[in-house]
Chains A and B, each alone.
Chain A
């Protein structure tokens, strides 16, 4: 089966600082992208999404940036809190398909 993310990089951030989590996606034809948060022992939880006709989208304390030129996606979390500690995954969906392919997860550790 398709599998990505055999290695989980870790980002450590001081509480109150901003976090930036990056993701390189593989398919230039992908038209929809999602960021998920996964806490230990739980299923992934939807955070924010963006379609390929946009380059930025903002939510509550989170912003997703899409750079199609270099196939790069980032998640910015403002004023990071202890509850933000989790593994974050990006997912891409190819145009005309329903299949989501997940990128390498990043573990975010918030330091008190």
Chain B
């Protein structure tokens, strides 16, 4: 596609349930990033993938959070046993090596 695509755009889940968020990066982009943005706040780094290198998971807030990427394509961010503090917009971005990152529209997650 022409841009980074994220799905779903909105997700409401019950506390304790698992959720999967999907990101389709721009074709050819080797780097992929996940960020979290709480309401009215800045972007909090979660994880990035670069080619076949080991991902940088240093931003994942707890072991309930995990992410996978298949080659240089789709990535999924999984949150297990969701908590209310997980409510936020989850943003995915992709880029060429050492170039600007392009963001998707985000998935708004609400845990009730």
Contacts and interface: CB of A to CB of B under 8 A. Distances in A.
Q: How large is the interface on A (under 10, 10 to 19, 20 to 34, 35 or more residues)?
A: 20 to 34
Given A2-B59, A32-B98, A103 B42 contact: yes
Interface in B51-90: 56, 58-61
Contact of A1 (B44, B93, B104): B44
Interface of B: 4, 31, 33, 35-36, 40-46, 48, 50, 56, 58-61, 91, 93, 95, 97-98, 100-106
B31 A3 contact: no
Interface string A37-61: 0000011111001000000000000
A5 B43 CA distance: 8
Contacts of B59: 1-2
A112 interface: no
A98 B31 contact: yes
Contacts, number: 80
B45 A34 contact: no
B42 A5 contact: yes
Interface of A: 1-6, 8, 32, 34, 36, 42-46, 49, 89, 91, 93, 97-105
The 8 A-B residue pairs whose C-beta atoms are closest, nearest first, are A5-B42, A43-B103, A1-B59, A3-B44, A102-B43, A44-B103, A2-B45, A1-B61
Contact of B41 (A6, A32, A42, A91): A6
Contacts of B106: 42-43
12 contacts: A1-B58, A2-B58, A5-B41, A46-B100, A89-B43, A91-B101, A93-B98, A98-B95, A99-B48, A100-B93, A102-B35, A105-B41
